[in-house]
Amino acid sequence: MEKSKFNRAKFKDTISSEDLKAADKAVEDVVRRGQQGHYAGFLDIEAGINKFLLYPSHEAIQQMMSDEHVDNEPFVVSKQIFWLPREVEEKDDNNNVKKDRTGKPILKIKNRPVFDARIHSDSKKDIVDWYIQCLKAQFVEQYGDDDDVIKEKMLPIYGSYQRKVMGIVGKPSWIVYAQKMVSGQKIFGRLEIGKAVKMRINELIAIEESNQAIGSESNNPFTDIDDRRAITIKYNKDADDARLYYITEIDTSYDPETKVLNTYPLTDEELEEFLEYPSLSSLYKNHYTQQDFDNALEGLKLFDDEHEFDVFSNADFLDEAEQMRDLYPEPDEESEGMNEEGEGEGDKFDVMDRTELKQYARINKAGIAIHSKITDDELRDMLRDFEKDGDGDEVKDNENEEEPTETEPEAVQQQEVDDKKESVVETKERKLSAKERIAQIRNKGKK
């Protein structure tokens, strides 16, 4: 028998189970950060009871590590957006950009978010807000004090939940870094909350502060790094009273042996990992740039043309718009304004596969008839529209059928209306700047 070239007596596997765990974690970290562009993804508030652990601000943690003073920031920041039409590239089922016969990208018009400069910049002026002021003044001049008529005319601006009109003014929200407790595991990300949850958190903090000893330093129970308490958010979409959709409370669970309330200290490892992500203030404060302004102006022009409001023929509007752009900084190389997913780095639907998207739609009763011709990206857009609209019926999963076989819910019918509004537009050789667009509009008005 031929002698083997492998000396089995010398074999020794020196890789331990701890080494394997460390290697797996390193890969997971790289993949996670690569997928998010080193931005934390968004956490879901699902139907039922959700438990979250909140983080303090980056600045509060940095102050602990520095001998010098660091200006503190709140652990939660405001977010306000408008939904405006935008020319976006059309993509196929494989997420590749579709092109025309000349090789240029095919564009279509879809609603996309843009920041409100009054919230996300040092300026107190915003072009969309100025547009709304001019439009309302125009209606007051036409219809006088007839509030009912003016309200009806302004419907495309503010929308109507009952009438299934979305409007362009988004609801205010707040962003906080958090961990979501799922089956004993902590999932890190950004948590976006609405007014009801935010106001209740304010109340709970005030109650806890009032219970502290007089003269003691006031600490937020939800962000204390040593004695952090959890919050629970119960989401009931079927509640009869809209005020009961979200019920937020401080976690009152306790250790069954010690009878002591459960707390969740932040470990040094968690703090170090947290500091690798950008602060909320860097993402949402003074983040508005000239690119955001250009996107907003482009969207307003499309919106104005669609509804034939003719605000862009108003000299006062154009004069202010021309000066307003210079109030904001130019975008740096890493920032091109808010992207079509919401904040320049994607949203929670981007990291979901088709199975997860269908599950989310079913749990939240999004009212979407899912069939084989709906691509993953189209399904993501429909879920985003559902979240903005806030209504839906049972999901009908017709995944294996070529076409839906029954009348679709109103939410889907509305989506079809939106799809019909999408128009393929001719690709321009070069996109006009805001100043060039305004000059073009002025010249057109003089003819």
Q: Taking a C-beta distance cutoff of 8 angstroms, is the pair 228, 271 a contact?
A: no
Q: What is the pLDDT of residue 200?
A: 95
Q: What is the pLDDT of residue 362?
A: 72
At 311, phi and psi to the nearest 5?
-70, -25
Q: What is the pLDDT of residue 199?
A: 94
Place of tokens 């609801």: 171
Distance from C-alpha of 44 to C-alpha of 51, rounded to nearest angstrom: 11
Report residue 293 as tokens. Answer: 């302004």
| 43: CB partners within 8 A, 6+ apart | 52, 178, 180, 187, 189, 190, 191, 348
Q: What is the pLDDT of residue 428?
A: 45
Q: Among 225, 231, 200, 172, which residue's Cα sits nearest to residue 45?
A: 231
pLDDT score of 283 more than 80: yes
Residue 328 burial by Cβ neighbours in a 10 Å radius (0-12, 13-18, 19+): buried
Q: What is the pLDDT of residue 366?
A: 73
Distance from C-alpha of 82 to C-alpha of 99, rounded to nearest angstrom: 29
Distance from C-alpha of 20 to C-alpha of 38, rounded to nearest angstrom: 24
Distance from C-alpha of 329 to C-alpha of 349, rounded to nearest angstrom: 30
Mean per-residue pLDDT, 195-203: 94
Distance from C-alpha of 70 to C-alpha of 60, rounded to nearest angstrom: 8
What pLDDT digit, counting tens, does each position of 293-350 carry?
999 999 999 999 999 999 999 999 999 999 999 999 998 765 545 643 345 444 556 5
pLDDT score of 398 more than 50: no
Max mean pLDDT range (17-26, 284-293, 435-444): 284-293
pLDDT score of 94 more than 90: no
Q: What is the pLDDT of residue 22?
A: 61
Q: Taking a C-beta distance cutoff of 8 angstroms, is the pair 107, 422 a contact?
A: no
Lowest model confidence (mean pLDDT) among 95-104, 114-123, 351-360 = 351-360
* Percent of the chain topping pLDDT 70: 71
User: Of 232 and 69, which is predicted with more confidence?
Assistant: 232
Q: Among 312, 289, 331, 302, which residue's Cα sits nearest to residue 439?
A: 312
| End-to-end Cα distance, the chain | 99
